[in-house]
Structure 1
Amino acid sequence: MTISSKPPTLGGSKNIWQQSNWASSCLGQTISLYGSAAPEQWSAASPVLFIGGVHGDEPEGVVLANEWLAWLKSENISQPWLLIPCLNPDGYQRNERTNGRGVDLNRNYPSKCWNPAFEEERYFPGTAPASEPEISALVTLIEQTKPRLIVHFHSWQPSIVYTGESAKSAANILAESSGYPLQPDIGYPTPGSLGEYGANDLGIGVICIEEQEGAVSETIFPRFKQGLIDLMKA
């Protein structure tokens, strides 16, 4: 992965930094990264990191990420942020949970609890921690930027799931705004997940927004818009 410090690309009413080829999927598709500042400012920024499209069969997360990005491009938010609209373009293109090598990216993080065992193919964690280029690039990004909070967008059963007490107050903002229940975990073990790696290993609060699977696209961003704005202003 190569980070470019090219001048920011204009977006809406403010300057937005972007790198369209920030990383590549295992099948060679590009993964884009956007942010409120250029790379040389990251170390002091402690941004909020937003991630969409971790699971390719959860398009609701990509819808939310893209519409939130469009809003960020058009408004002035003083808090620093980074956003990946779709981390798993191979799975998204195929409407499959896993990436192009059949790996569940949310079981591939190099957490202390990573485990090669899996009960279903859709949860295959890979041959080794961070074996997949998508996760390897994201781990490097987290190391570089040291985000103060990570929010990833999924869909399953409506809920706002937080890992790490530092994320609880921010997660509560999203829960109250959306009307979705607040939960301290998803309800079952997730070795190698972002929550395990980010919160339990690195001490970075992690929030997982679980939209209703199959939600009407037009209803997704309006449900979370005010909560996301309040989160960035908190």
Structure 2
Amino acid sequence: MQHPEKSELPRQQVLGYSVQGRPIHLWQLTQGIPSLLLIGGVHGNEVEGYNLIEQYVTSGLWGSLAGRASLWVIPRLNPDGCAVGQRVNARGVDLNRNMPTQDWIQTPLEARYPPGSAPGSEPETQVLLACLEQIQPQLILSAHACEKNPCVNYNGPALELAEVMATHNGLPVTDDIGYPTPGSLGTWAGWERGIPTLTLEILRGTPLNQVWQEQAQALQALLEYVARLSSE
């Protein structure tokens, strides 16, 4: 007797659409407990982050998680920004300042972090919120890139998980990136809802093949660790 839920994986669906009408895709790669979510392309100019996530999808490394975890992936949350290499979405909003957090403010703390007209105002943010409600992840990892101070940033009860990654990629672990981030995913999911949330900050300008060499094992070790924890 066939098990269609297994034979159908991996599968891709369209979660919704960006400001300019580009599809925002969600992959389900494996099935099991717990539910894990990887996100790339929140900022369209951080190719090091979203390329890592896309390479991971095509690598097949995730096959070891089959039956042990449901692994979900949004490769490019901000496809409009990714298409032109800009941080913000097509309306000029920083999606990582647009989440409906308790600390959301309409006045940007810096010009490069415009939060939008209201919390959750952007279609990409609404797509992410609907996805989080649908899959109820027990881990969120969002891959970014930064101009200095690469790190594994954690929000919520995720110190141990950040340390697992750091063991393999050598990056420092921190719960404070040095400046306020009102409206961020880490605040919404990690601090306000207690969902272990990691933000992997890769150094901008790192060759993409080097990013893969330095980060793939760390990403795989993290996912294996969470899957193993849930089975104990």
Q: Which structure 1 segments of 5+ residues have no match? A: 1-5
What is the alpha-carbon distance in structure 2 between the residues aligned to residue 8 and residue 101 of structure 1? 39
Q: Give the C-alpha shift of residue 121 in structure 1.
A: 3.2
- Residue pair 2:30, 2:63 contacting (<8 A) in 1 also: no
Out of 103-112 and 179-188, give the one that drifted further.
179-188
Write the deviation string for residues 176-223 of structure 1: whole angstroms up to 9, x where unpaired.
111111111211100000011001111111100000101101111221
Write the deviation string for residues 108-131 of structure 1: whole angstroms up to 9, x where unpaired.
001111111114332110001110
Give the TM-score normalised by the residue count of structure 1.
Answer: 0.87
> Who is 2:132 aligned against?
142
1:154-165 to 2 correspondence within 5 Å? 154-156=144-146, 157=148, 158-164=150-156
Q: Give the C-alpha shift of residue 16 in structure 1.
A: 0.7
What is the alpha-carbon distance in structure 2 between the residues aligned to residue 232 and residue 72 of structure 1? 13
Write the deviation string for residues 13-57 of structure 1: whole angstroms up to 9, x where unpaired.
xx31211x221111111111101358xx8xxx4411100000011
Amino acid corresponding to residue 207 of structure 1 in structure 2: L
- Residue pair 1:153, 1:210 contacting (<8 A) in 2 also: yes
**Structure 1 72/110 Cα, relative in aligned 2: closer, same or farther at 3 Å?**
farther
- Does residue 23 of the first structure (1) align with residue 16 of the second (2)? yes
Query: SS of the residue aligned with 1:155?
Result: strand
- Residue pair 2:52, 2:216 contacting (<8 A) in 1 also: no
1:1-234 to 2 correspondence within 5 Å? 15-19=9-13, 21-36=14-29, 45-72=33-60, 75-77=63-65, 78-156=68-146, 157=148, 158-164=150-156, 166-234=157-225
Q: Which structure 2 segments of 5+ residues have no match? A: 226-232
What is the alpha-carbon distance in structure 2 between the residues aligned to residue 202 and residue 130 of structure 1? 16
Give the TM-score normalised by the residue count of structure 2.
Answer: 0.88
Amino acid corresponding to residue 141 of structure 2 in structure 1: V
> Who is 2:230 aligned against?
none
What is the alpha-carbon distance in structure 1 between the residues aligned to residue 93 and residue 122 of structure 2? 8
Q: How many residues are matched?
A: 218
Write the deviation string for residues 68-125 of structure 1: whole angstroms up to 9, x where unpaired.
1112477231222110111111111111110000000000001111111114332110
> Who is 1:3 aligned against?
none
What is the alpha-carbon distance in structure 1 between the residues aligned to residue 54 and residue 179 of structure 2? 29
Amino acid corresponding to residue 17 of structure 2 in structure 1: S
The sequence identity of aligned pairs, in percent, is 37
Query: SS of the residue aligned with 1:75?
Result: helix
**Structure 1 53/109 Cα, relative in aligned 2: closer, same or farther at 3 Å?**
same
Q: Give the C-alpha shift of residue 9 in structure 1.
A: 7.9
Q: Give the C-alpha shift of residue 143 in structure 1.
A: 1.4
Amino acid corresponding to residue 47 of structure 1 in structure 2: S
What is the alpha-carbon distance in structure 2 between the residues aligned to residue 96 and residue 169 of structure 1? 33
